[in-house]
Amino acid sequence: MQPTRREWLRSGIGMAMAPTMMIPKAGAYSLAEIESKLAQGAGIEGVVKADLPTPSLMLDLDAFEANVARMAAHAEQAGLDLRPHAKTHKCSEVAKRQLGAGALGVCAATIREGEALAAAGVGGLLLTSELVGPNKIHRLIRLTRKRPDTMSVVDHPLHAEQLNEAAGAAGVKLNAMVDIDPVGRRTGIAPGPRAVALAETIDRLPHLNLKGVHGYSGASSHVKGFENRKAHSEKYMTPVLESFAAMRKKGMPAEIMSGASTGTYNIDSELDGMTEMQVGSYALMDVDYSMIGGKSGETYGDFQPALFVLATVISKNHADIATVDAGLKAFATDRDFGPRVARPAGLEYAFRGDEHGQLELAGAAREVKLGDKIELVVPHCDPNANLYDRMYCVRGERVRQVWKIDARGHV
Ligand SMILES: Cc1ncc(COP(=O)(O)O)c(C=O)c1O
């Protein structure tokens, strides 16, 4: 059989016959070509990492699947439900894998995320930010009509009344969770009598169903050192759990106690009264989480980095540095550290502007050449996923699938 043009180029025959042409060894699919292959239902057979446009977002399927399986096993062993937070990935394909591994639904941070996930067939939604104002309330009603098991959080009696009034006018019942603030002073009512009184108000309102308590201690998630983190989370989650217990003691239909993060999954799961975990980052991971310290040492290795930015060395004019095509716009920059180079080993990355990053080559495990592909662990996975339209899913060198990040952005 005649080799295809691409096979011919890859084999190097093309290089031998045309020595003056700079033809890359791998194929050179443009984004349009990759999209057209997908649109034709042809899959992406034959596409390898080296074919991908850069900078692009890459999901390592082996690492991702191992993370998803590990958290699912932990939840099962702890006897807890799992409703992973989709704010991390904003991708319905990822959510479907989490459901496939036993999750009973996913959380969403915005109404936009909820709508995109529902449109892709993902249910069991818990919206973890207060949906206030006519636009969000009416969209919540629409979402609930489509997915009657949708829940959202409430932290004020006035908001409860507004939801109740809109639900009554629309002829639907909205499912409400009392949002209790463990410590962050971001959203949530204080634990104790005020939280219990809010639950009573919700329970009394005819167009709302009281479902339980949402208590997310974000301030605990990245406390460094396992014992410190444990002490922090226990201190701030205990009053939340006591409020939940008080609601149940009064006979209210509060069944769900949802909380926990990737940093506290094996801490909060031990707390009396928790019923489900809304962990998010564990599926993708990032530099931030790698530094919090694990149960058995300084490195937090419970979950592996699965999300990478793929970049290309576009300038190599100095012995000690090289420049890649991934800069400030390719990474979320909300942390005071940047990405970490995963492959090749031994390189240090520094931001060098909007479109450029600099690699320090002193510790490089091998020579770095013009055109080399560099894989970088992202500093903070949630806002990083939000920057890209799609993630390229890889196994080894092969690109296996392309998943749309369909819930990204704000609308
Ligand atoms: C309300 C809420 N729940 C759960 C999570 C998941 O936390 P993590 O990604 O640390 O697991 C987040 C993350 O920011 C969150 O804001």
pLDDT in tens, 101-157: 999 999 999 999 999 999 999 999 999 999 999 999 999 999 999 999 999 999 999
- Alpha-carbon Rg for the chain, nearest whole angstrom, is 24
List Cα–Cα distances, 284 to 112, 276, 398, in angstroms.
21, 20, 19
* Full DSSP string of 278-297: ---GGGT--HHHHTS-BTTB
Are the CB atoms for 300 and 281 separated by under 8 Å? no
Residue 24: predicted pLDDT: 39
Which of residues 288 and 23 earns the better pLDDT score? Answer: 288
Q: Alpha-carbon distance 17 to 258, whole Å?
A: 64
- Ligand 1 atom index nearest CA of 265: 11
- In short, whether 353's Cβ falls inside 6 Å of ligand 1 is no
- In short, whether 184's Cβ falls inside 6 Å of ligand 1 is no
pTM over 0.85: yes
- Ligand 1 atom index nearest CA of 260: 4
186-204: average pLDDT: 98
Ligand 1 pocket: which of 180, 185, 221 to mutate (most atoms within 8 A of CB): 221
Other CB atoms within a 10 A radius of the CB of residue 145 amount to 12
Residue 28: predicted pLDDT: 66
CA 128 – ligand 1 centroid, Å: 9
Residue 47: predicted pLDDT: 87
- DSSP letter at 329 equals G
- In short, whether 253's Cβ falls inside 6 Å of ligand 1 is no
> pLDDT tier at 225 (50, 70, 90 boundaries)?
very high
- In short, whether 67's Cβ falls inside 6 Å of ligand 1 is no
**pLDDT for residue 380 is more than 80:** yes
Q: Alpha-carbon distance 369 to 361, whole Å?
A: 11
> Worst-scoring range by mean pLDDT, 8-12, 205-209, 252-256, 370-374?
8-12
CATH of 62-284, one of 3.40.50.2000, 3.50.50.60, 3.20.20.80, 3.20.20.10: 3.20.20.10
Q: Alpha-carbon distance 208 to 204, whole Å?
A: 8
- In short, whether 128's Cβ falls inside 6 Å of ligand 1 is yes
Residue 411: predicted pLDDT: 85
Positive/negative CA dihedral, 151, 283, 389, 327:
positive
Positive/negative CA dihedral, 38, 378, 119, 63:
positive
CATH number of 5-60+302-404: 2.40.37.20
Peptide bond into 344 cis (omega under 30): yes
User: Which residue intervals of 272-385 are DSSP H helices?
Assistant: 287-290, 381-385
Q: Alpha-carbon distance 146 to 131, whole Å?
A: 17
Q: Report which of 108, 174, 113 is spatially closest to residue 141, judged by C-alpha positions.
A: 174
Burial class of 254 by CB neighbour count within 10 A (0 to 12, 13 to 18, 19+): buried
H helices then E strands: how many in the chain?
14, 17
Ligand 1 pocket: which of 82, 216, 232, 277 to mutate (most atoms within 8 A of CB): 216
Q: Which tokens in the block code for residue 130?
A: 């207060």
Q: Where are the domains of the chain?
A: 5-60+302-404, 62-284
Percent of the chain with pLDDT over 90: 87
Ligand 1 pocket: which of 87, 152, 335 to mutate (most atoms within 8 A of CB): 87
List Cα–Cα distances, 158 to 53, 122, 141, 155, 174, in angstroms.
50, 30, 18, 9, 15
